[in-house]
Chain A
């Protein structure tokens, strides 16, 4: 069995399996390595999917605890920790969105505490408009975009995390981009080298 000290949060599958073997034995330090390595991504996906940082934190906590409980059943060689986490995060996020269709974006959560510069305010406003547009996308399209664009997963990894085919993900991404292009037409046109009014 690998020594935890020699394991970073290595993305290679063997490293993941060794870490999970330690976690399965109740090794708190190994679990802490996994949490610290992946928590940021899980929270980021949760925020983009749920549009609310508090809900995203709750989601991330549940996902990480699921990993802790799942550790004894971890099957070496089957998946990376990151893939497993993305998949569980995706499923839980979609479950929560469906359970709470009426949830709205927190009005204030993105506002800077001390926004003194106009540029900062404009950036915040743009972020809010983009976040609202993302929230208006169907959840599967949103998820595909979050994983592929924001998390930088490959098409294959996105498909694996979504338990879907590459072709289906491609279709979701194309529709998501087409919809966002219409919804954010003023925003993206203002960013063109030669803005068109």
Chain B
């Protein structure tokens, strides 16, 4: 009996050290037993009251932050966040090269991103296809804009085409010099 009481007192001491005197915070499985001990044992009661008094001291120093002070601080935080966003957007804008084509691509991507619901899901599902299509379009435009690059691709195409024909094996120079092959 005494050994059991000593064990219970030791457990109460530990629980008070860890969780404090608020029994609602004790482990549910042992709460009832410990409260019974406190109500029936003078030493347990003393331990509990000491702990409770310390917690009352701590509670006297609880922080109460006034609504007015919080409101002012919240306004400052919102203003800071808005300023940070503006700076971020300005930096992003500066980092975008001043090229109409780049701006168009970024605008297109932004539009895709902004699509909600099905549009967004569509863009997500077909991103690879869309990317390939965009790359082909860009390549086509570039080739079209650049005459020498266009000639090069035309020649490469002719070589590849004639390579496949029986009895025909033109050199690259032939094609480059415009020699009639057929």
**Nearest-Cβ distance from residue B38 to partner chain A, whole angstroms:** 13
Complex CA distance for A40 and B53, rounded to whole angstroms: 26
Report which residue of B55, B56, B77, B85 has the largest number of chain A beta carbons within 10 angstroms of its beta carbon.
B77
Complex CA distance for A191 and B14, rounded to whole angstroms: 22
Residues in chain A near residue B58, CB distance under 8 A: 130, 145, 149-150, 180
**Nearest-Cβ distance from residue A156 to partner chain B, whole angstroms:** 12
Stretch at the interface among A8-16, A74-82, A92-100, A182-190: A182-190
Report which residue of A28, A47, A57, A126 has the largest number of chain B beta carbons within 10 angstroms of its beta carbon.
A57
**Nearest-Cβ distance from residue A1 to partner chain B, whole angstroms:** 8
| Known A126-B57, A180-B58, A187-B57; contact A61-B63, beta-carbon cutoff 8 A | no
Q: How large is the interface on A (under 10, 10 to 19, 20 to 34, 35 or more residues)?
A: 35 or more
Q: How many A-B residue pairs have CB under 8 A?
A: 101
| Known A43-B65, A43-B73; contact A68-B57, beta-carbon cutoff 8 A | no
Total B residues in contact with A, Cβ cutoff 8 Å: 33
Residues in chain B near residue A61, CB distance under 8 A: 73, 76-77, 80
Q: Is the CB of A189 within 8 A of B17?
A: no
Residues in chain B near residue A180, CB distance under 8 A: 54, 57-58
A18 interface hit (Cβ, 8 Å): no
Q: Is the CB of A35 within 8 A of B77?
A: yes
B50 interface hit (Cβ, 8 Å): yes
Q: Is the CB of B53 within 8 A of A126?
A: no
Complex CA distance for A149 and B61, rounded to whole angstroms: 11
Residues in chain A near residue B76, CB distance under 8 A: 61
User: When A and B form their complex, which 4 residue pairs have the shortest distance between CB atoms, in order from nearest?
Assistant: A130-B61, A44-B63, A174-B17, A188-B53
State the A residues within 8 Å of B (CB). 1, 26, 28, 31-32, 35-36, 39-40, 43-44, 47-48, 57, 60-61, 64-65, 68-69, 123, 126-127, 130-131, 134, 145, 149-150, 155, 170, 173-174, 177-178, 180-181, 184, 187-189, 191-193
- 22 A-B contact pairs sorted by A residue (CB < 8 Å): A1-B116, A31-B78, A32-B78, A39-B70, A43-B63, A43-B70, A44-B65, A48-B63, A57-B73, A60-B73, A65-B77, A68-B84, A127-B60, A131-B61, A149-B20, A149-B55, A149-B58, A173-B17, A174-B14, A177-B17, A184-B54, A188-B54
